[in-house]
Amino acid sequence: MTSDPQASTTMSNHNQEPFANLSADDIDNQLSEIESLCMNCHEQGQTRLLLTRIPFYKEVILSSFTCPFCHFTNNDIQPANRFEPYGISITVYVQNAKDLNRQFVRSGYGSIAIAELGFEQPCNKESGTLTTIEGFLDSVIDNIMKTVKQVEQTIDGLNHDEQQTKENPKEHVTDSVNHDDSPEFEEQKTKLLAFVQRLTAMKNLEEKFHFELNDPSGNSCIENPFAPYRDDTTIIKKYKRTPEQNELLGIDESEIKQPDQQEITDEEILLFQTNCPSCNAPCDTNMKVTNIPHFKQVIIMATSCDYCGQRSNEVKSGTGISATGIRYRLTMTDISDLNRDILVSETALFSIPDIDFELSSASVGGRFTTIEGFITMIKTQLTNIIMPFSGGDSSNESSDKNKMKKFLNDIDQIISGTKFVTIVLDDPAGNCYVQNVYAPDVDPQLTLEHYERTHEENEMLGLNDIQTENYQNETAS
């Protein structure tokens, strides 16, 4: 879909937040309408834009184009955020109808693969997709059947020309059509129909399969129907992009500036220019190095935007990746446990097994706060989420709305101190921390475990590609 650069835009509400939560009561005020050039008939059509948030994901731009002259239509979805630092690979094991109904967002850089079929649909870099797994299978089947129809027309044409040649050989002496290609087209048709049969079997759940969405830009996601709880049938991996993938995204590694090497003292506060993560306006970020008692050195960064009022803070380790992973397990027995300091790094996994809750801190970034502060932050983020893709009768106990209410009620009980749970903080990089209130003595409620990382965890941290031994000798040779 291409829009006329001279198109006039009519905004419904200028004072409204750009990416407001989707609401059925105020849907008309959230739409923007733009006159756009139809690339099919070159008449003026209409594009409708909707800027909204997708629950448990990020802000997106939905667009829908319609031409009243030739009736051409086109829908598109684009992430409103910049490229993520890492690429993402999401694999879902499709076993039932609920898995087929999972919605997914695929950016223009995302590719889809089904391992059981040896099938892969590469990225197109032009438009994104918002659909379900079942809807994707339907679209693939429709496209293949169109190809089959074209093959059948080609075969019929070859057979017709061959028959005409037999009846009037003199008139077709110079015919350039190769009739020997007909068996090859028949074979191609047979293979396509067999492939469609496999896809149909998967769609009808006669065959289970793995649905993989891979996006080097990190701007794709697949719905978790169990949210806010963990999805055991989904595997999410983040990876460091290759030079080829950076080139695909238009990222020139040679232009990436390396920071100047300088020693930063604990008393020094650095100020540097950046962009607001909410509105992308220029703003300032303050950075300070500090030491956490009985732990290690960390870097605290705070950003404040004067344009939209957005405030954010993040904590990163100042000592790199530890030799082993670290896992804390805190058994709460008193309300005072909520006042313990906690450092949740950007590579840590925060979980509360008692309520089957698990959170990757990549969703919230690094945080240094108290246990009460961190859980309150989780509640605030979930409370502000409106689920535009779920609905139904609120009296249904299995509905998303009631599952969220029950979960938030459990969170409220933990914050108020009426419910004591076990908190697990696991970080393969070894940069998380839970305060030991008995330090330097042993804390009877806190268990600390150091463990060897798995190959997958080393891959996530980018350690498998790092050579730490004899690298100087190889470089010299």
pLDDT in tens, 97-133: 999 999 998 888 899 999 999 999 998 776 778 889 9
Tally helices (H) and strands (E) across the chain: 8, 25
- For 212-224, the pLDDT digits (tens) are 999 998 888 898 8
Give the whole-angstrom CA distance, residue 222 versus residue 98.
Answer: 13
Is the predicted pLDDT of residue 395 greater than 50, yes or no? no
In 3D space, the residue among 430, 417, 419 whose CA is nearest the CA of residue 328 turns out to be 430
Handedness of CA 141, 143, 146, 151 (dihedral sign): negative
Give the whole-angstrom CA distance, residue 93 versus residue 210.
Answer: 5
- For 59-90, the pLDDT digits (tens) are 778 888 999 999 998 887 776 767 888 889 99
Q: What are the residue ranges of CATH 2.60.120.1040 in the chain? A: 82-148+190-252, 325-389+399-461
pLDDT band at 17 (very low <50, low <70, confident <90, very high): low
Extended strands (E) in 69-205 = 73-79, 87-94, 103-106, 111-114, 119-121, 129-132
| Residue 340 DSSP class | S
> Could you tell me which CATH number the domain at 16-80 has?
2.20.25.420
Fold of the domain built from segment(s) 325-389+399-461 = Jelly Rolls (2.60.120)
Q: Which amino acid is at 123?
A: C
Give the whole-angstrom CA distance, residue 252 versus residue 80.
Answer: 21
Tokens for 21, please give them: 């939560």
pLDDT band at 392 (very low <50, low <70, confident <90, very high): very low
CATH of region 82-148+190-252, choose from 1.20.58.1610, 1.10.3720.10, 2.60.40.1120, 2.60.120.1040: 2.60.120.1040
- Tell me the three state secondary structure of residue 107: coil
* Section 351-366 average pLDDT: 79
Handedness of CA 383, 385, 391, 397 (dihedral sign): negative
Q: What are the residue ranges of CATH 2.20.25.420 in the chain? A: 16-80, 270-317
pLDDT band at 10 (very low <50, low <70, confident <90, very high): very low
**pLDDT on residue 387:** 44
**Measured CA distances, 24 to 8, 64, 382, 390, 461 (Å):** 26, 18, 19, 12, 42
Q: pLDDT exceeding 70 applies to what percent of the chain?
A: 76
Q: Which amino acid is at 414?
A: I
Exposure string (b/e) for 166-201, b if CB count within 10 Å is 16 or more?
eeeeeeeeeeeeeeeebeebeebbeeeeebbebbee
Cβ(379)–Cβ(408) below 8 Å: yes
* Section 259-269 average pLDDT: 61
- Tell me the three state secondary structure of residue 169: helix
Within 8 A by CB and 6+ apart from 369, the residues are 341, 342, 377
Q: pLDDT exceeding 90 applies to what percent of the chain?
A: 29
Which CATH class, in words, describes the domain spanning 270-317? Answer: mainly beta
- For 424-466, the pLDDT digits (tens) are 999 998 888 899 998 888 999 999 999 999 888 888 787 877 7
